[in-house]
Amino acid sequence: MPGDPHHGSRGSDHQVGMDVARRVLLPVSPADDDATAIGLCWGQPKIPDPFVWPEADALASSERELDAPVVDVGAAMRGGGDGDGMRRAAEQVAAACATHGLFQVTGHGLDPALARAALDGAAAFFRLPLATKQRARRAPGNVTGYAAAHVDRFTANLPWKETLSFGHRDHRAAGVSVVVDYFTSVLGSDFKPLGAVYQDYCEAMKQASLAIMEVIGESLGVGRSCYRDFFADGCSIMRCNYYPPCPEPERALGTGPHCDPSALTLLLQDGAVDGLQVLVDGEWRLVRPRPGALVVNIGDTFTALSNGRYRSCLHRAVVHRERERRSLAFFLCPRDDRVVRPPPRLLAAARGHEERRRRYPDFTWADMARFTQRHYRADARTLDALARWLGAAAPTCAAATSGSQSQDKAQETV
């Protein structure tokens, strides 16, 4: 809303409580010169005011790295997933997801050559002339397309980045290549090879995601197939991120503090350039890129599916003065019309009335997507805000997870 200089949304459409209304969005069509002006910002000696973040959000990084386990999913799945590898992986995931919600994964099956092709493809796309990239410009209220600093959604606290997002659904049985079709339809037939790279990459990420869901199901005691089956026919969102060098990195952010609305995020970081940070005990701790590993973090949709037992990961991305950074994010989501609620087995196994009590109302992924794309800028309180928007009551995000100091401080800074 114009009256909210902290978050700088474009306008108000729904009055859903003061704490929610402060971050309500009204998408508008960006003018052509908006994106042009943003494109001219890269390489300038000073950053424009809309890119300057409040000191609370741009809090200095800690010198400490995040203590995130490295989970060998390949070892977990060997022998039908019933051996020591699965038990070890489930213990690691349970510990990470009950604290900060992030772990790294090896043995995921992603071909290194495909990973390199996908990262190089993103680099090539973002080097294209702005006019070419604008062919895929994201429409207001839509999650797919090209965006420069999200000027189509916000007027302040702009992220210092460019993104290209597109959807993926598993239609291989029907012989449909959704990603290839997207690239050729919006960018032209010359982009078919790049679309084919991302089609293969998305399919590899979907299979890795389902394997990880088996480990997560085991860690929560609901069985390996519970969450895998829930997401088997789901939809996903793929996002290529580019963070240019920034002349004033201490005043800017590549991505502000937030929890992902999706269920699970699989992130591939390019090379040794760091940028991803997670808030733990009031400190922004670095997630060091690990060769060959995927970074996995829990999102709000899975927090609801676990009835608050597993924490949405509050994270941000910082930028550098002289180094550019790229990453690929794959967001696993349920089918649009699938109802998100904890499995009965999870609630039945809970100890005591308080753990069995439903912490969040039922919603569909379509509800969450509509809310975060059109009405609310995702942060650490998105689930609570969604519950109010749906007309239901929910506890504070801190109470819905573990009530730890890190989550309390997380909400104070966003």
Q: Can you list the positions of beta strands (E) in 253-368?
A: 255-258, 264-269, 276-280, 283-286, 294-298, 315-317, 325-333, 339-340, 363-364
Q: Check if the beta carbon of residue 126 is closer than 8 Å to that of residue 162.
A: yes
Instruction: Please give the structure tokens belonging to residue 5.
Output: 């200089």
Nearest residue to 379 via CA among 256, 281, 259, 277? 259
Among candidate residues 325, 359, 377, 381, the one labeled active-site is 325
* Residue 151 CA: distances (Å) to CA of 28, 71, 166, 382: 9, 37, 18, 21
Task: Say whether 325 is catalytic.
Answer: yes
Strands 102-106 and 70-72 come out as parallel
Cα–Cα distance between 42 and 75 in angstroms, integer? 44
With the C-alpha atoms ordered 122, 126, 128, 133, is the resulting torsion angle positive or negative?
positive
Instruction: Read off the DSSP letter of residue 152.
Output: T
CA 268 to mean position of chain CA atoms: 12
Strands 70-72 and 294-298 come out as unpaired
CA angle, corner 393, sides to 332 and 383, nearest 5?
25
Instruction: Read off the DSSP letter of residue 134.
Output: G
The catalytic site residues sit at 325
